[in-house]
Structure 1
């Protein structure tokens, strides 16, 4: 029943949901524009049908635009020609990767031209000595993981929608994933980028060298910019060697105090091999059991569940450390039950519990999703406050996240939408997150959903500096307008007020 309701949900236009946001003073697409742009991509343009409709709506089916044109370039040159033309004609555009954004950042607000990077999916080079990978922005995360695995290397991060999300979009939102505790954020792995700017000029910052201290580190400017400063077309990453020794603990924990205790102990006892520390609550486990048909791998229920993963170079050494760690947790009564796993296929199956939580939540009904970062000791406090405040509006409130970095995903499910629900939860959650010194977005970005809430995480002078950067690199504000920057009431009005 929940799945049926979710599937039948008719998404209203984003512009109707946000009447205070007015269409910018952009040109309207003419038939001549369509003809010129279609010739650039040699027939890889879409002006009607399901493919265009799907590109106009996000994965959660919350945001929907009215773009009349989808372009699918296959080269940086084509992206450059498209942007050059759109810049001259004052046509707004929205870059799109795998369209897995949870904040409305990858779909049109109005009638922006959609530029899909999905056909730019070539791996350009790989250095099996340095681990430097250069690829086009449309490569999916899974395709890169498969390629690197065959080379004896691995991607330095992992996120749920790895089959569909694209590396360019990953960089544009600076999403973190499940191994930040080991490998750091996107900023830590990035070596270089190729970016097409608003006027069509190509900024080639691709390098395979880790150390390059020649002036400003411009590549980092485009991480987290969500396509508002330029369209990423190529990515250069430093990839770590695949660890020959990998282990995982799947455990049930009786209290949040035990979660904190185990986390601290893991940092001390597992230190150099700790690669992931994920937490989800009993509500999430029930959703997994019901909507994904995956049974609880443990013999009994627990308030909290944890996946602790390690990656090292000495299997015997790591195995002994994990056994000792698990034994000590059992002796101290910090866990109710749990087990260690080191078989590749079995670990892949266990990872599916964590990676598909988003799907399990979506199948429960209409889902409002938020990802925030909070201090570790405030994790459950914030989640409990949300449950207390909004349980009457939601059929299910689930919490999970990348606990090592303080990442908390708050998901609220309802069988019907509430006109002011998102505003209610955002004003409450974001204010509380600010109170405890956290961030309103840990990895999915700002998009259209949180642009007017950016002040909860950034001081006004920082926001003003971001606006100035936008003016410098995109003076007509044609790149992904209405996203990221607050008070962008009509797309270009923001820039004229600086």
Structure 2
């Protein structure tokens, strides 16, 4: 395929493959020497570290400063829940024998979010293995008025999976069994604690893919993905989990097991109850099992990493890409120059193209390598010839594809090493997507270390991040509510895919009308009248 198309492709498109012989690992050579297009070099020549990283409950080293308790940093009042007693511990031990964790050292990690911005003070963590055990736990907690914090991989960005006070943590880590997989329909049924990357590996061995891909795939749980309605890197191709999740098993606050774990693609009978729990962040019920439709695994995948001279050119490249690549386009990601600098500075990953104000990562996925290469060739010739793209590189084998994806997927990790991070996950009209980043740079000036913008351009999703040396109430006051008011004026959403959790719950009104908020409160009161499920999260504080 490569030799046939060679006369039509610019020489630089082969640089990545030709300079990386088989058997040479990423650690054995620099990206700069392996993939850079001849010309001016980038700012880093460091050897690339492994592009795959597992996001755990904390990215900081053991010498990092202790995270301030959430109740001390934020204005939040503990609700009148019961306090766990010795009798409660004995009762819970009977429900999950040997899986009641009270050791303070073991509780440190699950009490802190991955970004190290919020910290609870839970004294108890439970590790059920079955839906029945979860049901017994919630029934007991409901009777005793004990608050519960459901927790999967604890990889969220908005403090949704960590306790705020002393809520009992119910971990799904041991609920990690695959129930069934149908080789014809592609329907996967599994427990909520299955790690996304492990599910992906399982179905890929059978010729399918999970319709969700995240930077945190090595740690996040499928139940947490569904509970937050995670978007991720495959949204452009496969859409929302609201469309690919076929059924759920959920345990309600009073211990009732709601089994809607259908594997049918079409079921038009009554209300679609699973939609209540997708994106509810554990506030309406605890998801214990998931049925999800997995599409066939593409046999041909290509990734192009391109440099663009401006954001207007990024938009035009997307329009051209969508028109010329059509059904094989599976991802279109963008990042600004500041993102690339941070990835280089903190992770020592070198930029594979010449320095540019913006970069885009384009992935194609299809069933015919020749067909896809033909379309990609035409697209690349068009954007290069028109000046929309000034530089780029192409990867066609899995190892190099992962290395290019690492530049995008590990931005969050690089930001976390730059200091305290103020994170905003916004949906905006495409033509205004980057304007807020420019506005904030002017507004904040030297008060911030870095203001960066990146995200899923194909979905209209901007990840706006501001870093500072440490948390600053004055800087937060400059950012909020300015960011939310700006977003509301564009009729955007204050949360595109991360959810609301603890940090964003009080800004829901910028995206939803009062009538919608009232109905949400009524649904919460109906399904969880005592409010024990993930309190202080998702819904605005009642005044």
Q: Does 1:349 align with 2:403?
A: yes
Counterpart in 2 of 1:92?
A: 147
- What is residue 12 of structure 1 aligned with on the other side? 68
Is the Cα contact below 8 Å between 2:352 and 2:393 reproduced in 1?
no
Cα offset for 1:386?
1.6
Question: Whole-Å Cα distance in 2 between the matches of residues 227 and 424 of structure 1?
Answer: 31
CA contact (8 A) 2:104 2:123 kept: no
Q: 1:176 to 1:362 in 2, by over 3 A?
A: same
CA contact (8 A) 1:280 1:306 kept: yes
Quote the residue 2:459 is aligned against: 405
Distance 1:248 1:239 in 2: 22
The one-character-per-residue Cα deviations of 1:424-450 (angstroms, maximum 9, x if unpaired) are: 313011110110111001111101111
**Aligned runs of 1:472-487 on 2, under 5 Å?**
472-487=526-541
| CA distance, structure 2, for counterparts of residue 416 and residue 12 of structure 1 | 11
After TM superposition, the structure 1 = structure 2 runs for residues 417-428 of structure 1, keeping only pairs within 5 Å, are 417-428=471-482
Match of 1:56 in 2: 111
Distance (whole Å) between structure 1 residues aligned to residue 480 and residue 228 of structure 2:
20
Contact 2:131 2:288 in 1 (8 A): yes
1:392 offset after TM fit, Å?
Answer: 2.5
**Counterpart secondary structure, 2:281:** coil
Secondary structure at the residue paired with 2:365? strand
Q: Cα deviation per residue 1:394-448 (whole Å; 9 max; x = unaligned)?
A: 1111111001111111111111221243343130111101101110011111011
CA distance in 2, matches of 1:421, 1:229: 34
Match of 1:121 among 154, 171, 176: 176
Match of 1:444 in 2: 498
Say whether the 8 Å CA contact 1:6–1:365 is kept in structure 2: no
CA distance in 2, matches of 1:296, 1:162: 23
Say whether residues 1:82 and 2:101 are aligned partners: no
Which residue number corresponds to residue 217 of structure 1? 272
Tell which deviates more after alignment, 307-316 or 36-45. 36-45
Query: Separation in 1 of the partners of 2:402 and 2:357?
Result: 24
Alignment of 1:227-238 (within 5 A): 227-238=282-293
Q: Size of the alignment, in residue pairs?
A: 485
The offset of 1:67, in angstroms, is 0.8
Q: Distance in 1 between matches of 2:418 and 2:63?
A: 11
| 1:80-479 equivalence runs, <5 A | 80-298=135-353, 300-479=354-533
Q: Helix, strand or coil for the counterpart of 1:391?
A: helix
State whether residues 38 and 71 of structure 1, in contact with CA within 8 Å, keep that contact through their aligned partners in structure 2: no
Distance 1:219 1:193 in 2: 6
Q: CA deviation at 1:7?
A: 5.4
Q: Is the 8 A contact 1:6 1:362 kept in 2?
A: no
Distance 2:155 2:287 in 1: 17
Structure 1 residue 18: deviation in Å?
2.1
Q: TM-score, normalised by structure 2?
A: 0.88
Mean alpha-carbon deviation: is it higher for 325-334 or for 33-42? Answer: 33-42
* Distance change >3 Å, CA 204–CA 420, structure 1 → 2: farther
- Name structure 1 gaps, 5 residues minimum: 490-498
CA contact (8 A) 1:253 1:259 kept: yes
The one of 53, 66, 89 equivalent to 2:121 is 66
Which residue among 83, 90, 94 is the counterpart of 1:39?
Answer: 94
Q: Aligned pair in 2 of structure 1 residues 4, 454: CA closer, same or farther (>3 Å)? A: closer
- Deviations along 1:196-221, whole A, 9 cap, x unmatched? 00000000000111000001011011
Question: Offset at 1:6?
Answer: 10
Runs of 4 or more above 4 Å deviation: 3-7
User: 2:105 and 2:377 mapped to 1: Cα distance?
Assistant: 52
Contact in 1 for aligned 2:328/2:365 (Cα 8 Å): yes
After superposition, what is the alpha-carbon deviation per residue over 1:106-145, rounded to whole angstroms, capped at 9, x for unaligned? Answer: 1111111000001101111000100000000001110011
**Is contact 1:44-1:72 (8 Å) kept?**
yes
Cα offset, 1:27, TM superposition: 1.0
- Cα deviation, 1:263-288, whole Å, max 9, x if unaligned, reads 11111111111100000000000111
What is the rounded CA distance, in whole Å, between the counterparts of 1:333 and 1:38 in structure 2?
A: 66
